[in-house]
Chain A
Amino acid sequence: MTTAVAAIDFELLGRIFPRVLVDGILLGFVYSLIALGYTMVYGVLEFINFAHSEIFMVGAFIGAEVLLILQAARVLAASPPLLSLLASVLAAGVIAGLLAVTIERVAYRPLRGAPRLVPLISAIGVSFFLQDLVRMIWALHRNAFYLTYPPIEVFNQRFPAGAYALWGGAAAVAIAAIGWLMRRAGRGVARARFESLSMLPKYTSIALGIVSVGLLILDPNRVLTVPVKSLVVIGASLLVLSVLVYVVNQTKLGMAIRAVAEDQATASLMGVNVNQIISVTFLIGGLMGGIAGALFGLQFGTVNPYSGFIPGLKAFTAAVLGGIGNIPGAMLGGLVLGVLEALAGSYLSLISGGAFGAEYKDIFAFSVLILILIFRPRGLLGEVVREKL
């Protein structure tokens, strides 16, 4: 690639495209999970929870720690891999969620009502504090600066996705049909409930359809394989996201969260315990951040106390891209950013003849952020919010 800018090898570009796309989607789901934490907190408090990237990092550490303990107890190899994964991801989510609630109590709640920058600075402080706290804890605990996820055999195998492309397409159609049926099922309240739930099959089928069609076009020989790990991460993210959509749109709790986001004073007049809802929002955001951390760690293998910063910033970018405060926006923004970043990471160097390497993919995300903020500050799905005077 270091030779002079010769003809761009389009054949190569096409061949790696499906792989790049899978990487992008995977990354996108992780970003979506983190971005939801930013966007939900922003929704209720109008405040950028700068420490959320560290919640994510703590989740990744806890996830690794659980797997390492299982490995040391010799149950990791013996037990079903999905079960170990579940234990690791759940522990990561719960601890990260509780941590987020604690942070809110200690560092943000006393500052409510202060000028906008005051809690932001406090959040930056929390973020820095947590980085070194985690570093200190694992220095004492394992004398380690970073943790490596123990390998789970099955997850490292590859799934012959290319061979199943047609099946994927068929599944997409089937899921779309289920979604269509759901939108028409039931009456009254139940109907509304089904209708909003049908978002899940709708988007799944769209995504799956795009992936399948893409595979059919770009991988005509049906040889593409995808790591099982990546599929697990994508599947788990989808599951978590759909549970969240359900909770926010269909439960009383979700309604309370939306009410607080809309107008705190009025919500409290309607009998919503605002403080409690804010805590719950942090809990949910932290839960998803922690789960994202464990999945991210599983995918990329190692995690260090400072590795939350960049994904956190990108997830924030994703939240802004989708329209901050907007939950479907955060998911969409995460996916778009993940795919864009994977494309940039793989193709920048190929297209520019090696002059601009994958290192620029971080800049790429920031440039996206700056451009959105300049040209469409409300994001893709956001509404116009006027500054309150």
Chain B
Amino acid sequence: MTNGAAPAASSTRRSAIPPAAWALIALAYLAVSAWSSVRLPNSLFAFLFFLSSLFLLYYAPVATVLRVVLGAVALLLLMPVIGASNAFYLEVATQVGIFVALALGLNIVVGLAGLLDLGYVAFFAVGAYLWAVMGSAQATVAFGIAPLASWWFFPFLVLSVVAAGVAGVMLGLPVLRLRGDYLAIVTLGFGEVIRVLANNLDKPINFTNGPQGISPVGRPPLFFLDAWNRWLAGMGRAPWEESAVYPFVFYFLVIAVVAVVILVTHRVEDSHVGRAWTAIREDEAAAVTMGIPLVRMKLLAFATGASFAGVMGMLFASKQYFINPESFTFMESIGVLAMVILGGMGNIPGAILGASLVTILNLQVLKDLSIWLNGLRQAGTIVTLPIIGSYNLASLPAQLEPAKYERMVFGVILILMMIFRPQGILPSRRRARELHDVAAAGEVATNA
């Protein structure tokens, strides 16, 4: 990452604590949090503690090199170690990674270019189905060819980027003339069309296997495992199981893709393309007047955002081993939108923070709440409430399961953020500056 990646460059933010001390603090924080996550493998708080260390790292005014090194250590070394002690956290981290990439992709479309895309998950589906069909027995059913060998996984990573990008352009071309809110509805319709197609293209020719979905989806080859197991055998130790290795493989693949996505987003953001997107977002008419090729730039935004989703869709399909159209509903699109808005539109760390928070909320907090409530229900705990009086939780309806209320979470996030903090938790520097300038101008005006 280049210098620009550090938003809180030490020159702008004066801190009483010298940089060296900051480095030590970050290091200690990372070490303690990682250690506690390994020692307390079932503690959610320890895990959140560890994740928060990444954000501390990002905002600590230390040298960029140190920041990158420490971040790499945390993600590439400590996280797998934590994952080895609790596989669920590795799964959470992988999911977070997937959604970070999705949020970053949508961030380009919505946050930078200002095009509200409500069917974003369609591109995720394009990538997922591309590989799921070609890399599984479904290839024989659909096209009468043998399933592709596992090494095709890697060419398909590129191909899924291209396919989703093309899908993005195809969606973009007819709808670009539309005004913002119409565009939102049309993209929503497009997302539904893709889902319905996935659901129904099991006849007349069976492409997608309909609602039953496709399983098993092909997985990447493990070139190293044989040699490694032979070496382990030579050492007199038990070989590694494929099934135990795959979660780590997918984790690293996701991290790699996220790294590329961050790099691309970051490089694009301040390029002429990124500026053109911002200009279009702020005022389309003015942007055209300044000579920005509107159609090309909008298409580029669609294609870029879509391609991120496409490659992640493919990884997702392969990781899940099984896909069906249920994974690509409108709710997923809104979930990603909620992530982008919660974190802060148009801002890379914002999108990452939003994706992490929402994913962890969904995967962990709601689920834990469900388990807790079920426990109370089974124990027949009696609570005394002010108005209702004493209430036996055993009679709490079984339909009430917090884990299924993610829509409510997304809804509350969207409403509250729009009303109270439309710029998000971590507003983009540009937005913050704009808001700051507006405030300053207001002050001048009142003083005058």
A interface list, Cβ under 8 A from B: 47-48, 107, 110-111, 114, 116-122, 124-133, 135-136, 138-140, 142-145, 309, 313, 316-317, 320, 354-357, 359-360, 362-363, 366-367, 369-370, 373-374, 377, 387, 389
Contact = CB atoms under 8 A, between A and B. Distances in A.
A117 B186 contact: no
Contacts of A144: 399
Contacts of A316: 185
Nearest to A353: B204
Contact of A373 (B175, B330, B337, B422): B175
B44 interface: no
Contacts of B192: 313, 362-363, 366
Interface string B411-429: 1111100110010000000
Nearest to B401: A139
B407 A355 contact: no
Interface residues of B, number: 49
Nearest to A131: B407
A57 to B, nearest CB: 13
A320 B189 CA distance: 13
Interface stretch (B9-17, B64-72, B97-105, B195-203): B195-203
30 contacts: A47-B181, A48-B181, A114-B418, A114-B422, A116-B179, A117-B184, A118-B418, A120-B116, A121-B341, A125-B410, A128-B410, A129-B412, A132-B408, A135-B405, A136-B400, A136-B405, A136-B408, A138-B399, A143-B397, A313-B188, A320-B182, A360-B196, A360-B200, A363-B196, A366-B190, A369-B186, A370-B174, A374-B174, A374-B177, A387-B285
B114 A48 contact: no
Interface in B51-109: none
Contacts of B400: 136, 139-140
B244 interface: no
A130 B181 contact: no
A234 B180 CA distance: 35
The 5 closest A-B pairs by CB, nearest first: A125-B414, A129-B411, A128-B411, A132-B408, A139-B399
Contacts of B175: 370, 373-374
A254 to B, nearest CB: 25
B184 A133 contact: no
Interface of B: 114, 116, 118, 174-175, 177-182, 184-186, 188-190, 192-193, 196-197, 199-200, 203-204, 285, 330-331, 334, 337-338, 341, 397-400, 404-405, 407-408, 410-415, 418-419, 422
A130 to B, nearest CB: 7
A48 B413 contact: no
A362 B196 contact: yes
Contacts of B337: 121, 124
Given A124-B334, A124-B337, A313-B188, 6 more contacts: A111-B418, A120-B180, A122-B419, A125-B418, A128-B331, A130-B411
Contacts of B341: 121
Given A313-B188, A369-B185, A389-B285, A126 B415 contact: yes
A119 B411 contact: no
Contacts of A133: 408
A189 to B, nearest CB: 38
B2 to A, nearest CB: 31
A122 B413 CA distance: 9
B419 A370 contact: no
Contacts of B186: 369-370, 373
Nearest to B189: A366
A367 B408 CA distance: 30
A110 B416 CA distance: 11
Contacts of B404: 135
A362 B196 CA distance: 8
A45 to B, nearest CB: 11
Given A139-B399, A359-B196, A132 B415 contact: no
Contacts of A369: 185-186, 189
Contacts of A320: 182, 185
Contact of B330 (A110, A309, A377): A309
Contact of A125 (B197, B413, B422): B413
Nearest to A107: B415
Contacts of A355: 203-204
B411 A126 contact: yes
Given A121-B414, A359-B200, A366 B408 contact: no
A310 B413 CA distance: 23
A127 B200 contact: no
A377 B186 CA distance: 12
A122 B415 contact: yes
B200 A122 contact: no
A299 B415 CA distance: 33
A142 B196 CA distance: 32
A128 B118 CA distance: 13
Contacts of B114: 117
A74 B330 CA distance: 41
Contacts of A389: 285
A120 B188 CA distance: 13
A359 B414 contact: no
Contacts of A127: 411
B363 to A, nearest CB: 17
Nearest to B398: A143
Contact of B200 (A136, A145, A357, A367): A357
Nearest to B192: A366
Contacts of B190: 366, 370
B419 to A, nearest CB: 5
B120 to A, nearest CB: 13
B201 to A, nearest CB: 10
Contact of B182 (A121, A122, A377): A377
Contact of B411 (A125, A142, A356): A125
A132 B414 CA distance: 14
Nearest to A54: B411
